[in-house]
Structure 1
Amino acid sequence: MAAGLDPLVALWKEWGIQMLVLLSLALQVMLIVTAEIRRRKDSGVLRVVVWCAYLLADTTAIYTLGHMSVTSRSPQHELVAFWAPFLLLHLGGQDNITAYSIEDNRLWLRHLQSFVVQVFAAAYVLYESSIFSGGGRNMLRQATILMFMVGVVKYGERVCALKIASSSTLSGKNYRSFGRVYTENLALWVLPYEPKLLEAHLLLNIPKHLLKGPLPLVTVGRKTDNDWELMYNVAEIQLSLMHDVFYSKTELVHTWYGYCLRIASLPATVTSLLLFRRVSKKDAFSKVDVAATYVLLAGAVILEITSALRIMFSTWTYTHVTSPASLVRHNCGLRYLMANLFVMFGELIRYAIRKVGGMPARYWSGSMGQHNFIFMCSRCKDSRSSKIARRMGREDWWNILIYTSSSVPVSKDFSKLLKEQLRKSVGVNEENPDHIQNSRGRAALKKRGLYEELSWSVGTELDESILVWHIATCVYLSWYQGEHKHLPQLAKVTQELSNYMMFLLVSRPYMLPDNTSRQRYIELCNRVIFHLNYSSAEDLLRIIRDYGDTLSAGRSLPFEYIEYLLPTYEKTRTGEDKVNTVTFDKASQLGAKLISKELETPNANMLKLISQVWVEMLCYVGYRCRPDSHARQLSNGGEIATVVALMMEYLKSDILQFKKEEQEAELGLP
Structure 2
Amino acid sequence: MMRSEVIEAGRLVNLWNEWGIQILVLVSFSLQVFLLVFGGIRRHSSSSILMFFLWSAYLLADSTAIYTLGHLSVDSRSDEHQLVAFWAPFLLLHLGGPDNITAYALEDNTLWLRHLQTLAVQVLGAAYVIYEYIARSGTLLLLASISMFVAGLLKYGERIWALKCGNISSIRNSISTRKFKTNPYQLLTLGTSEEELLLGAHSQFDICKGVFADIIMVPSHLVRSQSNSKQSSVISYLGEDLYKLVEMELTLMYDFLYTKAAVIHTWALLSTWTCSLLHRRGRGWEWPLHVITSLGQRVHPASRRLWSGSIGQYNLFHLCTRNTNEIGSRLAMKLGLQDWWNKMHFSGTFSRSDILSIRDIKKLVLQALQDKERALQYKNTDSNSRGSFILKSMEAYDDFARWSVNIDFDESILVWHIATEVYIRKSKAKHAKELIEATEVLSDYMMFLLVVKPNMLPGAARHNIHLTSCEQLEGQCRARFGDKDNPVEPSPISWNPYCMFKELFHRDGPNCSRIPRREKLAEMAWSFSQFALVYLPCQFN
Question: Normalising by structure 2, what TM-score?
Answer: 0.75
* 1:79–1:525 distance in 2 versus 1, CA, 3 Å: farther
> Residue 540 of structure 1 is aligned with which of 517, 529, 541?
517
| Contact 1:421–1:436 (Cα < 8 Å) also in 2 | no
Q: Quote the residue 1:65 is aligned against.
A: 69
Are residue 35 (structure 1) and residue 39 (structure 2) matched? yes
> Residue 372 of structure 1 is aligned with which of 308, 315, 321?
315
> Residue 315 of structure 1 is aligned with which of 266, 272, 283?
272
Q: Quote the residue 1:521 is aligned against.
A: 469
AA aligned to 2:365 is: L
The residue matched to 1:78 in structure 2 has which SS?
coil
In structure 2, what is the Cα distance between the partners aligned to 1:151 and 1:71? 22
Report % sequence identity: 34
Q: For 1:166-181, list aligned pairs within 5 A.
A: 166=167, 167-168=169-170, 171=173, 177-180=178-181
Q: CA deviation at 1:197?
A: 0.8
Higher helix proportion (structure 1 or 2): 1
* 1:542–1:428 distance in 2 versus 1, CA, 3 Å: closer
Q: CA deviation at 1:237?
A: 0.3
The residue matched to 2:373 in structure 1 has which SS?
coil
Q: Quote the residue 1:614 is aligned against.
A: none
In structure 2, what is the Cα distance between the partners aligned to 1:422 and 1:448? 15
Q: CA deviation at 1:369?
A: 1.6
In structure 2, what is the Cα distance between the partners aligned to 1:87 and 1:238? 35
* 1:170–1:404 distance in 2 versus 1, CA, 3 Å: closer
Instruction: Pick the structure with greater CA Rg.
Output: 1
C-alpha offsets along residues 581-600 of structure 1, whole Å, 9 cap, x if unaligned?
66xx616999xxxxxxxxxx
In structure 2, what is the Cα distance between the partners aligned to 1:191 and 1:397? 42
CA RMSD between the two structures: 4.0
The residue matched to 2:415 in structure 1 has which SS?
helix
C-alpha offsets along residues 614-661 of structure 1, whole Å, 9 cap, x if unaligned?
xxxxxxxxxxxxxxxxxxxxxxxxxxxxxxxxxxxxxxxxxxxxxxxx
* 1:404–1:488 distance in 2 versus 1, CA, 3 Å: same
Q: Which runs of 5+ in 2 are unaligned?
A: 488-513, 536-541
Are residue 11 (structure 1) and residue 15 (structure 2) matched? yes
Q: Give the aligned length.
A: 479
Q: CA deviation at 1:233?
A: 1.6
In structure 2, what is the Cα distance between the partners aligned to 1:448 and 1:189? 35
Are residue 106 (structure 1) and residue 110 (structure 2) matched? yes
Name which of structure 1's ranges 194-203 and 365-374 shifts more when overlaid on structure 2. Answer: 365-374
Are residue 489 (structure 1) and residue 446 (structure 2) matched? no
Q: CA deviation at 1:464?
A: 5.4
Q: CA deviation at 1:134?
A: 2.9
Q: Quote the residue 2:504 is aligned against.
A: none
| Contact 2:119–2:156 (Cα < 8 Å) also in 1 | yes
> Residue 77 of structure 1 is aligned with which of 51, 76, 81?
81
The residue matched to 2:85 in structure 1 has which SS?
helix
| Contact 1:509–1:518 (Cα < 8 Å) also in 2 | no
The residue matched to 1:369 in structure 2 has which SS?
strand
In structure 1, what is the Cα distance between the partners aligned to 2:261 and 2:327? 49
In structure 2, what is the Cα distance between the partners aligned to 1:251 and 1:335? 20
| Contact 2:65–2:91 (Cα < 8 Å) also in 1 | yes
Are residue 94 (structure 1) and residue 98 (structure 2) matched? yes
* 1:42–1:235 distance in 2 versus 1, CA, 3 Å: same
Are residue 252 (structure 1) and residue 267 (structure 2) matched? no
In structure 2, what is the Cα distance between the partners aligned to 1:154 and 1:165? 16
Are residue 127 (structure 1) and residue 131 (structure 2) matched? yes
In structure 2, what is the Cα distance between the partners aligned to 1:25 and 1:16? 14
C-alpha offsets along residues 53-80 of structure 1, whole Å, 9 cap, x if unaligned?
1111111110000111255753432212
Q: CA deviation at 1:202?
A: 1.5
Q: Quote the residue 1:417 is aligned against.
A: 364
Q: Which runs of 5+ in 1 are unaligned?
A: 260-310, 552-580, 591-670
* 1:468–1:147 distance in 2 versus 1, CA, 3 Å: closer
> Residue 249 of structure 2 is aligned with which of 217, 238, 242?
238
In structure 2, what is the Cα distance between the partners aligned to 1:183 and 1:425? 17
Are residue 346 (structure 1) and residue 299 (structure 2) matched? yes
| Contact 2:183–2:204 (Cα < 8 Å) also in 1 | no
C-alpha offsets along residues 52-108 of structure 1, whole Å, 9 cap, x if unaligned?
111111111100001112557534322122111111111111222222222222221
In structure 2, what is the Cα distance between the partners aligned to 1:22 and 1:80? 13
* 1:419–1:253 distance in 2 versus 1, CA, 3 Å: same
C-alpha offsets along residues 34-60 of structure 1, whole Å, 9 cap, x if unaligned?
222112333333332222111111111
AA aligned to 1:10 is: N
The residue matched to 2:313 in structure 1 has which SS?
strand
Q: CA deviation at 1:385?
A: 3.6
* 1:544–1:312 distance in 2 versus 1, CA, 3 Å: same
The residue matched to 2:348 in structure 1 has which SS?
strand
Q: Quote the residue 1:148 is aligned against.
A: 149
Q: Quote the residue 1:426 is aligned against.
A: 373
In structure 2, what is the Cα distance between the partners aligned to 1:232 and 1:490? 19
AA aligned to 2:363 is: K
> Residue 499 of structure 1 is aligned with which of 436, 439, 444?
444
Q: CA deviation at 1:121?
A: 0.2
* 1:588–1:543 distance in 2 versus 1, CA, 3 Å: farther
Are residue 195 (structure 1) and residue 196 (structure 2) matched? yes
Q: Quote the residue 1:267 is aligned against.
A: none
In structure 2, what is the Cα distance between the partners aligned to 1:73 and 1:381? 59
